[in-house]
Amino acid sequence: MWVILQKEIRQFFSSLIAYVVLGAFLVAMGLMVWVLDIGGLTILNYGYADLSKFFLVSPFIFMFLVPAITMRSFAEEKRAGTIELLYTRPIGEWNILLGKYLASLILLLFALLPTLLYVYSLYDLSLVEIKNKQTGAIVLKNTMDLASIMGSYLALFLLGAAFTAIGILASSLTKDQIVAFILSVFLCFILYFGFEGISRIDETTDFAYFIKQLGIDFHYTALSKGLIDSRNLAYFITLIGLMLYLTKIKLAQRT
């Protein structure tokens, strides 16, 4: 598994597309969070020390970023015929699968790490001067809810992990990277927004609420508020496990 993981990371960073994808993600997020004043939600205009817009737009960016990372995982192996070489080695299908999955997840973390600069910048912006009533001294106090932001980052990581599992599955279904990318984007979109859309047909029933809970959006939104609920964690773990299991079944077919 570790050999596969190292190979995937090395191959990704040896291609120009890696730097284009990561660079485009960081530029897009920087513009959306700091520059483009859509709905008055840029950090500088919002008036509150939080990253709500960052976590609001991230799912839309992830729907294209993650498929771009995962599209070559199995599709390129099939196109080049190297997938057969992997099968002949003493490496189990789960080791191959987990190696590629973890490699893609690590690459996603590489993309997320620079965004911690947003937290640092916001921390400085949220410092306010407060006068001590007893001593008269001026002290700096931070008004940022750091715990909530860290909880939102956990939600974003789980969302990325789920999209990565979906992207790996899509890549295992075809030999064409472009087809894998489009299929992955489609599946991510359907699983994120599809159940929410179906539930709105008749929102007055309990069944509609049940349908809404099947979608990723429901659980991501709940976690991104900074409230860690075991039910939401269980949902993401189950979804990731299901996608990986379906990929394992596809790999077992050797087609």
- Asked if residues 41 and 72 have their Cβ atoms less than 8 Å apart, the reply is no
Hey, what's the torsion of the CAs at 184, 115, 118, 229, to 10 degrees? Answer: 60
Of the spans 51-55, 76-80, 150-154, 180-184, which averages the highest pLDDT? 180-184
**Domain membership of residue 242 as a residue range:** 2-252
> pLDDT tens for residues 200-250?
777 667 777 788 888 999 999 888 877 788 899 999 999 999 999 999 998
> pLDDT tens for residues 168-188?
999 999 989 999 999 999 999
**Mean pLDDT over the full length of the chain:** 82
Residue 129 pLDDT class (50, 70, 90 cuts)? low
- Which pLDDT score is estimated for 151? 84
Overall domain count for the chain:
1
Q: CA 125 to CA 142: how far, in whole Å?
A: 9
CA 229 to chain centre: 18
- pLDDT greater at residue 19 or residue 226: 19
- Which pLDDT score is estimated for 168? 95
